[in-house]
Structure 1
Amino acid sequence: MLRPEDWDRWYDVLLRAFGGVAESAEERGLWRRITPCERSIGAWDGEELVGTAGAFDFRLTVPGGASVPTAGVTMVSVSATHRRRGLLTSMMRRQLDDLRAWGGPLAALTASEPMIYGRFGYAAATFGLHAEIDTSRVRLSVPAGTDGVRLRYVDPRAALDTCEEVYAGTVAGRPGLLARRPGWEGLGLVDAEAEQDGASPVHCVLAEREGRVTGFARYRVRPQYTDTGHNGQVLLQDLAGLDPVSEAALWRFLFGIDLTTSLKVRGRPLDEAWQYQVSDVRRCELKVRDQLYVRLVDVGAALQARTYQAPVDVVLEVEDAFCPWNSGRWRLSGDPKGAVCERTADPADLALSVRELGAAYLGGVSLAALGAGGRVRELREGALASAAVGFGSPVAPWLPHGF
């Protein structure tokens, strides 16, 4: 366990592993306040600290709307002088053993390099949409009622609690969203010079309907000029709305900011409505990137914690070399109202590893697609198609921010 008095040393080792760029006092202070030392570990070579790993205490929304205890694995590093000695494996072993003892069914992380964490049972479960929209040529067609939304500028810090209330109101509606603990609301306001890169400090706009705040957007503007005029860029940082028209009003506002000709967004939901409101999707330059990697720490508890959009009754033969307590056969019976997942000796219908279960867990990766890729074996005809439908989600899972 990390001792609080060792945090600065521990964090310096982490920063060095990720390039050594110094952070502002504000950003460093925020991470210090929210780091759970009792859930963090360090690897030592004598008196030298050479490895770091931590785990935030989150609750993750899963299909059906339940908020499930989840370890947000974070701040993982090994000093370059101590690579290829098994330190990472040792820390992952210790961490997963601890997580099991604490009783949490899930672990999740964002991967600096995707290939690292597959051997420990993690798999990409959510994906984010990047776009650079030519707002000088692309128009937005908004739904009826959007004109009834009032927008107003506010001081980002003064509105912090208000924005957090809006975000909290969205959490149950989409798999992958994190119920944040106190302290996390300040993450979006860390205004380090390195992050600005010629852009403004963060601006904040609230959306209101009938006197109630129903959405917010936080963004920066990077002014740019050429001989032909202004071509500034809007850089979206956060946007959340409690209803479609509030979201549409905020997007329309971002499309129309004076002296700008483009809007850059990163890591938005794959099914976000603005994509279907634009006049020319090609001029939005859409790209998809992996986001949240999920690992089932307790297969039975995790599969039982979510619901299934169609009835499922399937026996899964699970392979989990790193956490062998998960290996074996599990009967999953579930529907939109709930699920039961228990050990069984019945013949298996599908064979897969814990990685495939992690990928499909939030409903954004199809079991059928994994089967077509050779990652899931069908042992009973028809079992794969049926399970794939049940595991799906009508709303794309999404991670709103890194950790």
Structure 2
Amino acid sequence: MALETRVLQADEWDVWFDHLELAFGGVPESPEERELYKSLTETERSLGVWDGETCVGSAGAFSFRLSVPGGALVPAGGVTMVGVSPTHRRQGVLTSLMRRQLDDIRAGGEPLAVLTASDPAIYGRFGYGTAAYSVSVDIDTTRVRLSVPPGTDGVRLRLVDPQKALGDCERVYAALVAGRPGMPARQPGWELHALLDPPSRREGASALKCVVAEGADGEVVGYVRYHVKPDWEQTGSDGKVQVRDLDALDPAAYAALWRYVFGIDLAWRVRAYGRPVDDPVLHLVSDVRRTQVRQRDALHLRLVDLPAALEARGYGAPLDVVFEVEDRFCPWNAGRWRLTATAGGGASCTRTDAPAELELSVGELGSAYLGGVALTSLAAAGRVRELRAGALAEVSRALAGDVAPWLSHGF
């Protein structure tokens, strides 16, 4: 029987999600997580591949607005729920889903597609590049101290119910989005993702807790959400604090929140995952060697409409360069483009017959797009070719950002 690819119908969602769980190992999600993702699913942007009545492939997309260098919020398809049943692998199912999805994202006017990858090796062949990384930190608070800035002692902290504090926390988050590339502006319903706390995922830790930081006027200027996992050894307590989210609008509030989690009774380790690679906590700690830091890929990005994407972001230096771009999967992007930009101003990207000065694939452009991966580094790995002396440094400098890009939450 021939496979059929079609847009998901609302009454097919449970079968479709059952397939996804099977594709990811067969362990069911918690009822709370399943319910949340059912409410967030945009069925009109979700695809299923069917073998008779059996769903054997899936791919979805969320309608995001992603912060880019310069502060603009650019429409992006948030690729998600991609899976192929074990019985139907290596039969072109994933390729057909990626083909249909990128065509749809382009038709919908979104210049970008983004995703988080369960297997990063998969998506390079579809033109995605790793555009943002994250770090995890594991801190031994018996040996590491914090050096906090002036004003930290004036910050008031309050332990609050995470649900009741949600509005204040979301206002802090929204104020930060434009200042750091890679952060999605919260669409309706996504604020609940931050509160997802099924007991089955706690592994012996407490329910989600929240502390807010208030400035002199009583306004909330920061928050931390966390779990505490009590533990005991013969020598005494060995508890751990797991930081879920920590955001603040100023250095004093930021430091006060970190100092709070460092000081929680009966806990001697603080762990935080998915933090920015330039997280300021790395400059507050007294001993970075005992602050175990591990880096991994976070956000993979693809230019779907190359000229629109390059015109949407800001640039840190004037630029006038001609690219030769390879893009086999989305051939409308392939060819020669002239990109001109002013520092802090607008940009223009148009087709040209002028000689190319830099040669690269759309994946390398995707990696460099948010300003966190230098084209000079990619060139040193043999993935970018300089055709005019000096062009590589000019473009790398213009694309670079002031802060590291960061994906603030998964999807």
TM-score by length of 1: 0.99
- 2:222 aligns with 215
**CA deviation map 1:169-202 (0-9, x unaligned):** 1101100000011111111222222310010000
Amino acid at match of 1:229: G
Pick one of 319, 343, 351 that aligns with 2:326. Answer: 319
Cα displacement (A) at 1:298: 0.6
Q: Distance in 1 between matches of 2:132 and 2:82?
A: 20
> Partners of 1:184 and 1:146 in 2: how far apart?
31
Q: How much does 1:293 deviate?
A: 0.0
Q: Distance in 1 between matches of 2:309 and 2:399?
A: 13
Q: Aligned residue for 1:279?
A: 286
AA aligned opposite 1:240: D
1:246 aligns with 2:264: no
SS in 2 for 1:23: coil
- The percentage of counterpart residues that share the same residue type is 60
1:261-272 alignment runs, 5 A limit: 261-272=268-279
Give a deviation string over 1:122-150, Cα, whole Å, max 9, x none: 01100001111001110000111111111
Aligned to 1:353: 361
Match of 2:315 among 276, 296, 308: 308
2:178 match: secondary structure: helix
After superposition, the C-alpha distances for 1:338-359 in whole angstroms (9 at most, x for unaligned) are 2111111111110000000000
Per-residue deviation, 1:24 = 2.4
Match of 2:295 in 1: 288
Alignment partners' CA distance in 2, 1:49 and 1:85: 14
Aligned to 1:190: 196
2:350 is equivalent to residue 342 of structure 1 = yes
AA partner of residue 192 (structure 1): P
Contact kept? 1:304, 1:338, Cα under 8 Å? yes
TM-superposed CA distance for 1:165, in Å, is: 1.4
| Aligned counterpart, 1:14 | 20
Amino acid at match of 2:145: R
Q: Which residue of 2 aligns with 1:179?
A: 185
Deviations 1:291-328 (A, max 9, x none): 00000001100000001111111101000000000001
Q: Distance in 2 between matches of 1:20 and 1:187?
A: 22
Alpha-carbon distance in 2 for matches of 1:159, 1:27? 21
Deviations 1:35-74 (A, max 9, x none): 0001110001122110010000000000000000000000
Name the structure 2 match of 1:75. 81
1:6-155 matches, cutoff 5 A = 6-155=12-161
- Aligned with 1:159 (options 165, 168, 172): 165
Determine the C-alpha separation between the residues in 2 that align with 1:19 and 1:219. 28
Cα drift, residue 160 of structure 1: 1.5
In the alignment, the residues of structure 1 paired with residue 279 and residue 43 of structure 2 have an alpha-carbon distance, to the nearest angstrom, of: 36
Partner SS state of residue 118, structure 1: helix
Gaps of 5+ in 1: none
In structure 1, give the amino acid aligned to 2:147: S
Any conservation in 1 of the 2:247–2:254 contact (CA below 8 Å)?
yes
Distance in structure 2 (CA, Å) of the matches to 1:142 and 1:313: 43
Any idea what the Cα deviations from partners look like across 1:144-164, whole Å, max 9, x if unmatched?
111111100000111122211
Secondary structure of the structure 1 residue equivalent to 2:402: coil
For 2:305 and 2:355, the matched residues in 1 are separated by: 21
How far residue 20 of structure 1 moved from its aligned partner, in angstroms, is: 1.8
Moved more, 72-81 or 20-29: 20-29
Give the structure 2 partner of residue 226 of structure 1: 233
Distance 1:114 1:26 in 2: 27
1:23 shift after superposition: 2.2
Q: Is the 8 A contact 1:145 1:245 kept in 2?
A: yes
Structure 2 gap ranges (5+): 1-6
Structure 1 residue 104, shift from structure 2 partner: 0.6
Picking from 256, 259, 262, the partner of 1:255 is 262
CA distance in 2, matches of 1:288, 1:141: 24
Would you say how many aligned residue pairs link Structure 1 and Structure 2?
403
Q: Does structure 1 residue 387 correspond to structure 2 residue 395?
A: yes
CA RMSD of aligned residues (A): 0.8
Comparing 159-168 with 254-263, which one deviates more in the overlay?
159-168
Q: Secondary structure of the residue that 1:49 maps to in structure 2?
A: strand
- Give me the whole-angstrom Cα distance separating, in 1, the residues matched to 2:377 and 2:189: 39
Deviations 1:72-106 (A, max 9, x none): 00000000010000000000000001111111100
Q: Is the 8 A contact 1:23 1:192 kept in 2?
A: no
- Matched residues in 2 for 1:294 and 1:41: separation? 20
1:207 alignment partner AA: A
Q: Which residue number corresponds to residue 366 of structure 1? A: 374
Between the aligned partners of 2:203 and 2:28, the Cα distance in structure 1 is: 15
Q: Which runs of 4+ in 1 moved over 3 A?
A: none
Residue number in structure 2 paired with 1:398: 406
How far apart are residue 245 of structure 1 and its match? 1.4
CA-CA distance at 1:274 after TM superposition: 1.1
Cα distance in 2, alignment partners of residues 345 and 43 from structure 1: 42
Contact 2:133 2:295 in 1 (8 A): yes
Distance 1:196 1:154 in 2: 20
- The TM-score with structure 2 as length reference comes to 0.97
Cα drift, residue 260 of structure 1: 0.6
